Structure 1
Amino acid sequence: MKKTIIALAITGSIVISGVVAVAAQNSNKQDVLSSQEISKKALSYVKGKVYKIELEQEKSGPVYEIDVKGTKAEYELKLDAKTGELLKKSTKYNTSNLTGKKIGIARAKQIALNSVKGKIRKAKLDKEDNIYEIEIIKGKYEYEFDIHAYTGKILKKDKEKITSAKKGNVISLRRAKQIALRSVNGVVQQAQYNQNNGLYEIHIVKNSKTYKLNIDAHTGAIINQRDGNSVYTASNGSIIGLEEAKQIALNAVGGVVTSANLDNEDGVYDVEVQSGEFEYEFEINAHTGAIVKQQKESISQTFASIGANTISMENAKQIALSKVSGTILSANYEQASNLYEISISANGYEYEFDIHAQTGAIVKQDQEPLENTAINNDAAIISSQKASQIALSKAKGTVTKIDLEEGIYEIEVKDGTYEYEIEIDAKTGDILSFDKEYED
């Protein structure tokens, strides 16, 4: 994509005075609006001060990308460079619209770990941008997250393979022992560095058992851990099977396996088990069968996060509809960020809202033309509220997601134990399919 910067911010003194400095004019482009003309067009859509203008060449033709700062929000606009027509609008509201209380770094870490189950290497708050920056190591990869300090929404997630150049020097043997002892509180019997595979091999004795741990010498991550008195090995000498991994988890807590898969990257089986009122997550070494990690969470507490302390999905939809009168295309609750994501079709545009589930504040609003408005403009379809009622007549619980696609409502309902997926004909209201399974 070819980009020409037409106007760019701005020294500190100019920012304070509110004056926008135009750096250059593209005099060779007689068929596009000037920066002054496009600024006026932008301010006809939103109120504020233009502080950045960029001219880009897209497949459909030249467009302007304009940033406008208002008193309550910042706007990113995309306008047709020839006509000034609004092609897209993104609104980022100031955090004063929220409760004024940050989620805390512990909560930010958990949001990142819910996305990638690994080891946190770094976590800090960028006070200027109100963003928690979290780095996680998992296997051979490093993940970087930017998490909004007020909403908990993941703004950025990058994944990068850790190269030998990036790893640099290895951690000390003393540091490796400390890491091992945090996992198994016993007595170090043996500790050595294996240069061939870049691992520290640590043996710890606890309660007459010997635990063997392999620790990445560059990142400090525990690659695997096994109990020397309870070693599992596959009959073919490679890895244990999926069924055996499930049985190992069930031997630990009983219950029902709701999810199980092999993570080839880390060489572990990820197994989830529901037992009574709790959900357990296991990481089981695929070579030894040792339980490397085990987490326990109350199902009722998980479900309560979309309960009394949050507004309902219907309330969230009404908040969005109070801004734009149209047809709900989709509605979804994101537990990690505590936001409702609502999409509305109206007047040939699709509007997307992020609404804070506790305060009802509109955190973000996007607008862009619809590619296909045939189904969205069809007055014969039932409303999303009616579709939700039909779904709840079949499955009692809470609607956590609703999408309208190709004349079909796809609705997700959760009751704390089960998750239901229901497809409903958007014109007739007939239930087309109904699936029920344990919540993941």
Structure 2
Amino acid sequence: MTDRELEARLARAMADAAPDRLDDLLRVREGRRAPEGGGDNVTDIGEAQGRKRRSWRTLAAATAAALVLVLGGGGIFGWRYANAPDSLVAIDVNPSVQLTVSRNEKVLEAEALNADGAEIIDDMDLRGSGLNVAVNALIGSMVQHGYIDELRNSVLITVENSDEGKARALQDSLMADVEGLLAGNAVDAAVVGQTITTKDQELETLAAENNISEGKAALIQRIMAVDPTLKFETLAGLSITDLNLLAESKRADVTDMAVTGKASDKAYIGLERAGEIARAQLPGATLKKVEFDYDDGMVYEAELLLDGYEYELEIDAVTGAVLKWDWELDDDAPPPVSPSPSPKPVPGETAGPAPSTPPSVAPQPLPSPSTPTETPMPSPSERQYITEEAARALVLAEIPGAEFTEFKFERNDGRRIYKGEAVLERTEYEFKIDAATGEFIKWESERMDEDDWREHQEKQGGGPKDPSPSEYVGKKGAEDIVLAQLPGAQVGKIKLDKDDGRAVYEGKAWLNGWEYEFEIDAVSGEILDWDSEPMDD
């Protein structure tokens, strides 16, 4: 009720309590009375005076009542203070509902933030009800509609209030109410509580754009802070149970949040089963870790180590199917310490002594496009590495007396190699040697110009030179390399690109419902990267 409406009502009450008797009083003063039924009787003055006293007593009583209404007990001002908007309370499961709450914890407005929230509120009118009554009604509706059960047991309570102490107290009270209510419905709940005390424009915008509460947006931000590869709009559609599992798996910072219970993973195969599936793909491997993740659906990511190689699998969290896998040399693997029994021949070159055999391309093992969950993953055929001394000897056998300007043992997209540069008689050689087989996988030579030769003499080293396009295998050659691995595949557009200063061919191929992505060295034809995954329906 507005002040104007209240004033009008008080005026009417006072008018009814003290009617206008001026004409009667004037007649009494003149010694006569208003005619009644046509008579000329005159009213006794005492009777008029008695009526006059009663009228003023009634007026005084009405005035006092009005003053009590306006001033007593805080009056309209106290009422307005107690019923002014004070807090925002958001309840998220997958339905998102927001309540505007007064200082005396009455619901002023209940708003559904998404379609699921509208289903939960339905035709309930929660305005004017106590906050705890409204929360119990909403949680009960979520249970009845199947949004909360033993598989999806997480609820997020967010309280917005500039008074941190009040927000925290209200949060704790609501969390206890929700936990008790769900326990009564045989749900072992995981209740998460947080408070927001200052306005955040970015948070408001994200929440509005994705039809979620600011509380859910804040939880998503915590997850993305540790994994920025995830997309906000994708996570916005997940339930609080899934977000809760992701936050736990990725160790998101929730130190300022209140958490009771544990998010249920009963809808999924679980970490233990995911680990068993991963180990079955690589018998004898060491399981490094398994974690819950999201990649176009809920998945488990597993990492395993075997003989110096690191394998990564992506497992469907519902079915247990292996969706993707990849492998590479372990960065932490130690360099070889035992000598190789016999050096390998050097591939051909264009300058300097000519090796006895042409270059060979030995691509890494590729995944099978069939039954990925039943076929064990291939592993490299050799894992005993030659020593650095043996690798140097291979080079010096072809260019005796050469001076090494660079020599490294490192990982090169799926294999351990020795990489280096050497100079002999103003010719610069660049090479790569497979550390497992002793084979040269790259051998290039170039005559040094005067500036390079002078720089080499001054610094005792020279920089590598980029090969010319005439030395590239070409796009057709790259396609032939792919088809040699996947006969009958459809090869998409291949493009020439640079990767860490190296010319490469990149592209995609499709075969039997699988999609392959590849990267091929433009000079040597070596397959540098190869990934596969099932094609989307």
TM-score normalised per structure 1? 0.30
Q: Would you tell me which structure has more helix in proportion to its own residues?
A: 2
Q: With the length of structure 2 as denominator, give the TM-score of the two structures.
A: 0.25
Higher normalized strand content (fraction of residues): 1
Tell which structure's C-alpha radius of gyration is larger. 2
